[in-house]
Every structure is written in C-alpha cells, then in structure tokens.
Structure 1
Amino acid sequence: MLNEEVNRLFDLGDRVALVTGGSRGLGLEIARGLAGAGAAVAITARRSRWLEPAAAELRELGANCRAFAGDVSDPADATRLVAATIAELGGLDVLVNNAGITWGAPVTEYPVEKWWEVLDVNATGTFLMSQAAARHMLERGRGSIVNVASVAGLKGSEEGRLDAIAYTASKGAILALTRDLAVKWAPRGVRVNAIAPSFFPTRLTEGVLAARGERLAAEIPLGRLGRPGEIMGAAIFLASDASSYVTGQTIVVDGGLTIR
C-alpha cells in the first residue's frame, strides 16, 4: 500500500505535458521523464528537422507524443502551440518552458541585437507560453508550469568565465517571472516553479565546456558536470502531485555549485 501511495504522488498517467525546446538536450530528457511517468507529451522546437527524430525516439519508448514546430517568442506561435497540444492530446496540465538560446561576447563588445534575440527567446518566450497555457489552466482551476532557468540567474560570473550577459539576464528574469506568476495564479490552482541547472553537456553548453569544462567541473563540490537523467527527477516532482504544496520555488540542480 505504501508503494501505491508513493507511486500515485508521482503518477502523470492522466496528464498532458507540453515541453518547449523538447527536441534535444535537457528538454528531450525532461520530455522522456514526463512520458515515463505516464504523461502524454507534446514537444516543440523552431525547426521540424529537429523534432521528428526526437518524437520518434519518444514513441519508440512507448510515449503518446506529438511534435509541433514553432517560435516561442512569437505571440501567435505561442498561442498556436498551446492550442495544438489541447486539440491533439485533449488538454494541457503541465507546461515546461525549456526553449532557450545563448550568445557569447565580453559585455563591452556585446551587440544589442544579440541581447534582444536572447531575451526574446528565453524570457519573452517563457512569458508568452505561460500566458497562453494559463488561459486554459486557470479556466480549469489546475495546472503546473515549470520554467527551466539556470544557476547563471542566481550568481554572477567573473569576466572570461561565462561571457553571456544576455543569457544571464534572461535566466534572472525567468526566476522573477516564476515568483510573480506563482503568487498571481496560486489562488486559482496553477502552480509555477523553476529548475536552475548548472552545467550539463548539451548543444547549448558545448562551447563553454570545450573551453573550460575541466575548470568548471573542479569548482563544483560534487566534482563533476551534470549527467543525463539528473534533471528529469526535478521536473517529474514539480509536474506531479508530489509537489502539490510547492509554488514559487526554484530547485537548484547544480552539484552544489551555488553553495560555495
């Protein structure tokens, strides 16, 4: 009976989840985890050629999966992605805002057009997708939004270590957005939380890890970078009834990096 009670807490068998940036990296890992917990999953990316291999992989694992191409920083696309998920899968219970980009240069040389490009996808995209999903969730009186931020939004970085000021600013904005939406929507049954990973080997981090991976790993108390599978647990927790009394919080998955 205890096993059944615990399993029920984490069971997503009656839920529909939408994961942006779900075609690879941490987004695909999160989609895999949510599907493994029983959720029907929709994944999005800007390009169809990235989506189909990921969707095929999830279906081979037994997932009920849909894939939709779209730009989360475009208001019409954000609305369309949510509507397509609801139409194809019958609802929307969980939104994971994972889509993100970065661009690196010293602050004094950072082009303003790149600043806006990163902010548009990372911060504005998170806002637009949350806005579109909340219209459905608030009407139903339940839902969970999980925003993938970063430890970059929690702490500064010396020059030359992580020269990606727009990325840092966007992730800090996501954390503030998470807290404010959590307060606004809690009375209507919608929870909003965040996950702040440190360094995981993905396409987004390949440049910085190629240049400074060993140094960065040495700064982490656990002595290593994140591994595949180490993000999905936090996402399943925040998506499920196991976190039914948790909102406005950030789960830091960083091997202890931010406690130093």
Structure 2
Amino acid sequence: MDNYFDLTGKVAVVTGASSGLGADAALAYAKAGADVVLLARRAEKLDTVRVEIEKTGRKAIAQACDVTDEESVKSAIGKILEVFGQIDILLNNAGIAVRGGVDSMTVEEWDKSFDTNVKGIFLVSKYVIPHMKENNYGKIINIASINAVVADKSDLFIRHSYNSSKAAVVGLTRGMAASYAKYGITVNAIGPALFESEMTSGTLFKSEEFLKGYNYSNPTGRPGNRGELNGTILYLSSDASSYVQGQFIIVDGGSSLV
C-alpha cells in the first residue's frame, strides 16, 4: 500500500517554530521524512528544536525571522533556497493572542494582532509561492483558530482582535486556494481549539474557572494534548490531501458542536 503521508524528499518551512505547536509540528515533519526549516524571532530557542530534529536523521536549519518584517522574511526565504533549493511545504503557524475588546484595546494592540496573524502569513507566502509556482507543487497550511468562528463572552477572555484576525486567516486561505490551485498548490487552514502552548499556558491554563467551563462544554471533557494536531497537519501537508483545497478543518474535540 502506498504511504500517502510519506514526506521523504520534501522540505518543510515552519514559522513560529521555537515552541509549542510549531515545534511539535516541525518534529512531526522530520519523523515523516522531511527536512525542516525553523523560523522564529528567537533564534536561541530554535536551536533546541533543531537538535531534536537532527536526532531523527533529517536535516534542519534554524533561521531567525520576524514574519511581520518584509526584509527579514525575504532574506530568510532566500537563505532557505540557497541551502535546500526547494520549499515544498509551508506551515504558517506564527501567531499571537492579544486580550481586549474593541472598547478597550489600543490601536497598537489591534495592529499587533493583524501584523502577526495575517500580515505574517501574507509576507511569508508572498516569497514562497513564486518558487512553488515554478515547481508546480506546494502545500500551504495556515493555522487559524476555532476562535475564527466561536467567541467567548467572558470579560476575562475577550479577544476581539484575535477573533477577527483568525477569521481573516480563513478568508485569506480560501482566496489563495482558489487562485493557486492551477499551479499545483493546495492551501488549507486548521482551527485548533484549546491546546497547551507557550501562548496559553500563562493565561487560559492558569484559570481554573475557564478550564472547568471549557472541559464541561467540550464533548471530550478536556483540552487537546500535545501531538494531537500533528495528524491533521501531516494530512494537509502530504499527498493524502491532494484534492483538498481551501478548507478550514477545526480540531477541537467537538467544542464547536455544542
């Protein structure tokens, strides 16, 4: 039987790869056979992930990159192509969550959300897609959030810029998918619910009230565990999803059902 999830010979680029879901996905790519490029602002944290990937026998490079800065992105993608000569998979994972409602946020806080969550995807994709078009092949996966379609009424966790920026990621994904399918490029988005990560461990996971409510309303009765997002990421990154285009797959243990 063909192994449609085999990524041998592929090069995967992961943004926001220094910790959490990004680091987990990078290691999953390596275990599936891909060489991996790690992008994040904190180069020192990337080296830890790089060492773990190299233990699998795959190649990895760690490259400091600010996805909100065009020159930083352009330089990073240029270096990747110099080293590997190809980019087959792009996981746009870098993201932030800024708390606050429209009546309390500053313009700077609002812009920060959109700069990272939306502009970051635009900039990295801008410099990767021309290469994918030349090769008539590419897999782009954008990490959105369940909060693109589900909001929280609690004042403790109101995040209007997060809701709207992640909804924008879904819209951008659909637009890119329709435009670039003819070049052999698939573009899809994933909407995780609550997973423990660097972003959530210091906020949502510290609130017993929030976790109690989340676990009660979630059919599985718990947040996602580390690694439980990897299967969906690998599916959308492999030939198993060759006819899947412009989709938004929610990985939430059933939270959005109830």
Q: Same fold (TM over 0.5)?
A: yes
* Alpha-carbon distance in structure 2 between the residues aligned to 1:166 and 1:81: 28
* 1:54, distance to aligned residue in structure 2 (A): 1.5
Picking from 224, 228, 232, the partner of 1:226 is 224
Q: 1:88 — aligned with what? A: 83
Distance across 1 between alignment mates of 2:31 and 2:191: 22
Amino acid in structure 1 at the alignment position of 2:92: N
Q: Which residue of 1 aligns with 2:200?
A: 205
Instruction: Tell me, in whole angstroms, the C-alpha distance in 1 between the residues paired with 2:56 and 2:212.
Output: 34
Is the contact between residue 107 and residue 163 of structure 1 (CA under 8 Å) also seen in structure 2?
no
Does residue 188 of the first structure (1) align with residue 183 of the second (2)? yes
What is the distance in 2 between the residues matched to 1:245 and 1:15? 19
Cα distance in 1 between the residues matched to 2:230 and 2:188: 14
Q: In 1, Cα distance between the equivalents of 2:157 and 2:90? A: 29
- Tell me if structure 1 keeps the 8 A contact 2:18–2:42: no
Secondary structure in 2 matching 1:53: helix
Asked if the contact 1:22/1:44 (under 8 Å) is kept, the reply is yes
- Equivalent residue of 1:71, what SS? coil
Are residues 1:257 and 2:252 paired?
no
Describe the superposition over 1:148-198 as per-residue Cα deviations: whole angstroms up to 9, x where unpaired. Answer: 110001122214253121111111110000000000000111110011100
Amino acid at match of 1:221: P
Deviations 1:221-259 (A, max 9, x none): 111100011011111111100000011001111000111
Deviation of residue 93 (structure 1)? Answer: 0.3
1:238 aligns with 2:236: yes
How many residues of Structure 1 are paired with residues of Structure 2 in the alignment? 255
Within 2, Cα distance between the matches of 1:240 and 1:106? 38
Corresponding residue number in structure 2 for 1:12 = 7
- For 1:154 and 1:130, how far apart are their aligned partners in 2? 23
Corresponding position of 1:97: 92
Q: Residue 135 of structure 1 aligns with which residue?
A: 130
TM-score normalised per structure 2: 0.95
- Residue 107 of structure 1: how far off its partner (Å): 3.3
Q: Which amino acid aligns with 2:116?
A: V
Alignment of 1:166-181 (within 5 A): 166-181=161-176
Which ranges in structure 1 are unaligned for 5 or more consecutive residues?
A: none
Higher mean alpha-carbon deviation, 79-88 vs 16-25, is at: 79-88
SS in structure 2 opposite 1:105?
coil
**Correspondence for 2:107:** 112
Task: Please give the alpha-carbon distance, in whole angstroms, between the structure 2 residues aligned to 1:215 and 1:173.
Answer: 27
Question: What CA deviation, in whole Å up to 9, does each residue of 1:30-49 have, x standing for no partner?
Answer: 11111111000001111112
TM-score by length of 1: 0.95
Secondary structure in structure 2 of the residue aligned to 1:258: helix
Rounded Cα–Cα distance in structure 1 between residues aligned with 2:15 and 2:211 = 26
Q: Please identify runs of 4+ aligned residues in structure 1 that moved more than 4 A.
A: none
Match of 1:67 in 2: 62
How big is each residue's C-alpha offset from its partner over 1:203-224, in whole Å with a ceiling of 9 and x where there is no partner? 1112022112222122211111
Would you say the 8 A contact 2:193–2:251 is kept in 1?
yes
CA contact (8 A) 1:145 1:193 kept: yes
CA deviations on 1:129-157 (whole Å, 9 max, x unpaired) are 11111011011111010001100011222
> How far did 1:56 drift?
1.4
Q: Tell me the C-alpha RMSD between the 2 structures.
A: 1.2
